[in-house]
Amino acid sequence: MTDLSFDALMHLLSLDSTRLELGVIALCLALAGLINHRFAARHDVEALATGGDTLGAAARMGREGLQRLIFPLSAIGLLAFARMIYGVLHQPPVLMHLVIAMLVAMGVIRMIVYALRQVFSPAGWLSTFEFIIGLTIWSAWVMHALGILPEAIDWLDSQQIALGKQKLSLWALIQGGAWVLVTLIAAIWLSGSIERKLMRAPIDSNLRIVLARLSKVALMFLALMVTLPLVGIDLTALSVFGGALGVGLGFGLQKIMANYVSGFIILLDRSIRIGDLISVGSDRGQVQRITTRYTVLRSPSGVHSIVPNETLISSVVQNEGLSDRAVRLAVTVQVGYADDVERAIAVVEECARAHERVLAEPAPRCFLHSFGDSGINLELGMWITDPENGTLAIRSAVQLEILRRFRAEGIEIPFPQREIRVLGDSASNVAVCDAKA
């Protein structure tokens, strides 16, 4: 590739011969875009015809990687052919060399980002990362093509930044940032591999989560400790600053650190697991997610509550599924004093046993609870193992069945009543009794 200065490039663009070369370049790029579009459309038609991607993982990765390179490869081929013909019929081209180099950079960028997407799960930060990689490579190429890259590096190297007793240049910081970025990506990839192996290991799920997160933090810290000295940054120069920063963060982030420590304790002691139905304070719900800082509860009404882990450690937590998932539900019903109480108790127990969610063992039992003003109070106790599915529906179903059976058996469910007695025959006595009533 021929290096051009900025002034030479501007002069070259003003020539009539350059306009013809630009037209040829535009035609080649348009043909490459058409080829890329036809390839993508053919791939979509084949996927629809087969009902999805039936290829293996390796074949799918190869096809997707090739699809990302169709445009730059076809454009490079067309421009190389056009450059040969243009050089024979006209003068040796200049801009075609530059455009081919740009297309090579595009292919490199796309392959790097595609490799990263295969290593990491698809995430929003990858699109930003792709933009940063592309901008960096293209900026370096433009400065190299214009012949100003060495001057830019010299200028960055001359700008010194004092860091304690050590002075670092901007160029050293950029190199260090690049190395840190590469090592962090490697650490994240390695921690992901470790996490996948841990998830398949025959150990407790909470312990797997703790080990995976600890390995990720340890690998990232190790990557920083190894990379910074390699780029000339003395870690001892950061000791005083790090100590002061640590003290400040210790006071300012005390609550946050307490939540993180509490999260590791919860994951290790296994007092709370995903799927447990717990109550803490006024919040009650099923544990949906446990992170190192908070725990997510989903109430029976569908509302999600984010509970800090410190609250779960320092407060009383009612876990309905810690050692036994069986939960007792109580239903109260009242019968009249003139009814057969023993028969009423038998009917209530039969209604509970008829429901599919009620356990047969322990069997539902009904007891005479107390004597009320209007009737005899009975209490039904029944056990279920799925409180996370809600308790209102089963209470309603059992009580509706009790009401139906009581009506069929002629058992009365009394309502509050008051008797008025008339003493004597005088109207004044009646009025007094009515007032007392």
Residues 24 and 141 in one domain: yes
* pLDDT number for residue 426: 53
Residues 14 and 80 in one domain: yes
DSSP string of 302-317?
Answer: S-EEEEEHHHHHHS-E
Omega before residue 122 within 30° of 0, cis: no
Residues 10 and 55 in one domain: yes
Mean pLDDT along residues 391-397? 89
Domain that holds residue 284: 257-319
* pLDDT number for residue 145: 63
Model confidence pLDDT, tens digit, residues 16-35: 556 777 788 888 888 888 88
Query: 387-397 burial, b if ≥16 CB within 10 A, otherwise e?
Result: bbeeeeebeeb
Residues 23 and 90 in one domain: yes
Residues 367 and 399 in one domain: yes
Residue 356 lies in a domain: yes
Residue 23 lies in a domain: yes
Model confidence pLDDT, tens digit, residues 149-184: 777 777 777 777 766 566 667 777 777 777 777 777
Residue 16 lies in a domain: yes
Residues 286 and 361 in one domain: no
Give the pTM. 0.41
Residues 30 and 106 in one domain: yes
* pLDDT number for residue 244: 59
Residue 180 lies in a domain: no
Least trusted range by pLDDT, from 90-99, 318-327, 365-374 = 90-99
Residues 23 and 127 in one domain: yes
Residue 178 lies in a domain: no
Residues 302 and 363 in one domain: no
Residue 282 lies in a domain: yes
Residue 235 lies in a domain: no
For the sheet with 317-319, list strands across it. 304-308, 294-298, 283-290, 277-280, 317-319
Residues 112 and 12 in one domain: yes
DSSP string of 115-145?
Answer: HHHHHS---HHHHHHHHHHHHHHHHHHHHHH
Q: What's the total number of domains in the chain?
A: 3
Of 289, 319, 349, at which residue does a domain stop? 319
Reduce the DSSP state of residue 274 to 3 states and report it.
Answer: coil
Residue 270 lies in a domain: yes
Residues 311 and 334 in one domain: no
